[in-house]
Amino acid sequence: MNRLAILVAAVAFAAPAYSDHTPGSTPGRNADPQPVPVADAPVAAPMKSARRAPVAPVADGALPSGNAVVSAFIDAVGGIDRIRTVPGLRSTAVLDGSAGNIESRSLSAPGNRFLITRTNATQGTVSVGSDGTIAWIAADSGACRLLAPEETHMHADSSDPLAMIRAFPERYGEFHTIGREAFAGAECIRIGMIDQSGQPVNAWFGADDALLKGLRFGDEAEPTVVRFDDWGDVAGLRLFARMSVDRGESHHSIRWTALEIDPIDAVAFAAPSEAARLARQDAEQRAAASEHGADGNGP
């Protein structure tokens, strides 16, 4: 599946379907499920809108290379070194979609660690997280399962604006400039690129500020368009505070009401006991399967 399509699913999800088994395990109702710990992160003040001097403005008639456009974008955000050394980020957000408003809190830190907790008034709470080794998804009903690697990357990439920006140059390649055109009322440089599944994606970056304005993927008849708005300053980084996703008559949006850069204690990302049990069970079954194959009695 196109990575952006998976990302859209992450933005839109409220209470995903749960299978009662883990990768490599025997299906069955999980016994003695435990609640998922949620860090009681303080809500930071709403981020302030800020405008810096234009980064690498595009001269009239000039068309920079796709690589130059993406590099200017990363520099405009704060630079790759700054992005990679952020100790942690806390965020609160509201998702608006067909399932109604969803409250979201997330924590993220280096080492592929994150915890996202989303609550819907009618569908309860869903938590998705990773301690860097074990990744899981759980509901307040007690259902819990481990995440496959692709699911883990998807949720990690979509946990907050910084995570999405940090993943951008890693998830896309073959950048090439298409031209200069307007997007959502802003003059932009449009580039084409390829995602990790080999599917084409278009991106628009501001001609004056180098910031990402939008993405488009899917077929021309009914494309999915993702728009990034309300860029502001957060501890020296420029991050967007609103993302909208449109496909046909379907519309979803997520609005971050607070973003705070702050070191986060590793205990906040600890896997719940049920997820840890499932991980041990999965490891034991894989080891047994490996031994069975090694003794010559395997298929």
Enter the tokens of residue 89.
């980020």
Q: Report whether pLDDT(115) > 80.
A: yes
Nearest to 268 by CA among 102, 94, 114, 127: 114
What is the percent of the chain with per-residue pLDDT over 70, rounded to a whole number? 76
β-partners of residue 103 are: 94, 119
Return the sign of the alpha-carbon dihedral for residues 38, 43, 48, 52: negative
Pick the more confident residue, 253 or 55: 253
Size of the chain, expressed as the number of residues it contains: 299
| Nearby residues of 142 by Cβ (< 8 Å), 6 or more positions away | 30, 33
Q: Compute the mean pLDDT over every residue in the chain, rounded to the nearest whole number.
A: 81
Domains and CATH numbers, the chain: 3-25+34-294 (2.50.20.10)
Of 43-47, 114-118, 254-258, least confident by mean pLDDT is 43-47
pTM of the model: 0.76
Pairing of strands 89-96, 186-195: unpaired
pLDDT in tens, 201-247: 999 999 999 999 999 998 778 899 999 999 999 999 999 999 999 99
| CA–CA dist 175, 194 (Å, integer) | 7
| pLDDT value, residue 295 | 59
DSSP letter, residue 48: B
| pLDDT value, residue 296 | 57
β-partners of residue 252 are: 245
pLDDT in tens, 130-182: 999 999 999 988 899 999 998 998 888 888 999 999 989 888 999 999 999 99
Rounded to 10°, the helix 149-157/161-171 angle is 120
